[in-house]
Amino acid sequence: MSEQTLCFQRTIPIRHRVNVFVAGGGPAGVAAAIAAAQQGQRVFLAEAQAAFGGMGTTGGLPMFCGMTDEINFLAGGIGRKVYEQLWKANGMAISMPHDVTRPEVFFKGEVLKRVYDQLILESGIEFSLMTRVIEVETDGERVTAAICEGKSGIFAVVADVFIDCTGDADLCARVGAPFAQGDADGHVQAGTLCSVWANIDWEAANRAHHGIWRQQEHLPRAFADGVFSVQDAHLPGMIPVAAHVGYGNIGHAFGVDGTDERSLTAALMDMRKKLLEYERFYKEYLTGYEQMELVSTAAVLGIRETRRIVGDYVLKLDDFRNRASFDDEIGRFAYGVDLHASTPSPEDYQSFLQDYKCLQLAPGESYGIPYRVLLPQGKRNLLTAGRCVSTDRSIQASIRVMPGCFITGQAAGVAAALAVEAGMSTRDISIRELQTRLVKLGAYLPHAEIA
């Protein structure tokens, strides 16, 4: 039976008229908004959740992957500022060394919320939380307004340039920009509902070699004992954050469509139930977790993959393998290909392991990110940043993480400012001027010929 329809019309207020509108306040959106404001632009930032930061805060995953290539700080500029502010605010996890060459950084999510709050407030950006984009108005190849919804009702934001940092390319999809989703059959990486646990004895766990990287070695015994309703051999693990507190990146939601609220609803309820199985596993099969207690689950489901825009260039696995450089480079990245399996089958898990082991870069190596991956085809004043930029699936599994989002978000914000200043399409701005301004902000662009 086909769905019935109705015509819904309203006259709504234009609440903001700005130069740059940013949809989504995760790491990409925060970086984009701040970068545009630093270039003198008036910015409005709409974030759907109760805090900025995306997976690092609301999503309950207190871990930056790929901040450096073990030699160079890749997320330079706004990413580096976030990193330093976390240190100043005592926001790093226990036993976290202050080593600016370390690619992986563990932090306290609640502190990161306040760091983002302060950076946004200092920037002079107009913003609101609990505000999501529900529709977009266009005029040919130009976006003219974002229609937003909050507790006070529906309102419009008119802007010169729009940046989609929703992670799911929601704004791009609503204006008809082309995108891909998943593999050839539409299968996407599994999601995870992250969690917080108390009463963990980290010293005992480490003595027994049950730290974060070796917990999954004990899964086969639990599988044989029937502990799990789904035998998922991939266990990223429990991250030590405070003296007796761990953040669980545990369990996978297979087959979830992060662009469909019905699929998300079913996955959230299922994963909250499945965490009881993981609680039993940790308590009965590992040392140091015998008294652990679930404190909370994340406010949102962690989604690794949904839409990827089709931009003027599609960044490919060969670019990763070739350590590619580009004339229009806006940053470089080095995180390996972390393509979580779409199903719990042993074959899919072995495929993940093979890619994860083989598709890594040596210290000091990185691949370039061209500006063209931020440009949705067919649109003159629309940019995107974060995990929905224009890539194939393999590179999406690398660049999707938070430091990669800082890099693309910062570049999108500066590019938007240049387009506003020149009164031209985002496609026609001066790449040399873009790179020059990014370097001034602190971006890592060793191959750029700046002005």
pLDDT computed for residue 384 by the predictor: 98
Whose CA is closest to 411, among 119, 36, 52, 66?
36
Q: Is the pTM of this model over 0.85?
A: yes
Q: What is the mean pLDDT of residues 343-351?
A: 95
Residues in the chain: 451
**Is pLDDT of 304 > 90?**
yes
To 10 degrees, the CA torsion angle through 223, 227, 233, 238?
A: -140
Mean pLDDT of the region 113-136: 98
Q: Domain limits of the chain?
A: 14-183+306-441, 195-297
Where does 39-169 have alpha helices with state H?
78-88, 109-123
Interior angle at CA 231, CA 228 and CA 234, nearest 5: 115
Write out pLDDT tens, residues 205-263.
988 876 666 788 899 999 999 999 999 999 999 999 999 999 999 999 999 999 999 99
Task: Using the structure block, give the residue that is written with the tokens 């019309």.
Answer: 9
pLDDT of 451 reads: 63
Average pLDDT over residues 153-181: 97
**pLDDT at residue number 97:** 86
Sorting pLDDT into bands at 50, 70 and 90, what band is 377?
very high
Mean pLDDT (the chain) is 96
Mind listing the pLDDT tens digit for each residue in 391-406?
A: 999 999 999 999 999 9
- State the CB neighbour count (10 A cutoff) for residue 326: 20
Q: Considering the domain 14-183+306-441 in this protein, what is its CATH number?
A: 3.50.50.60
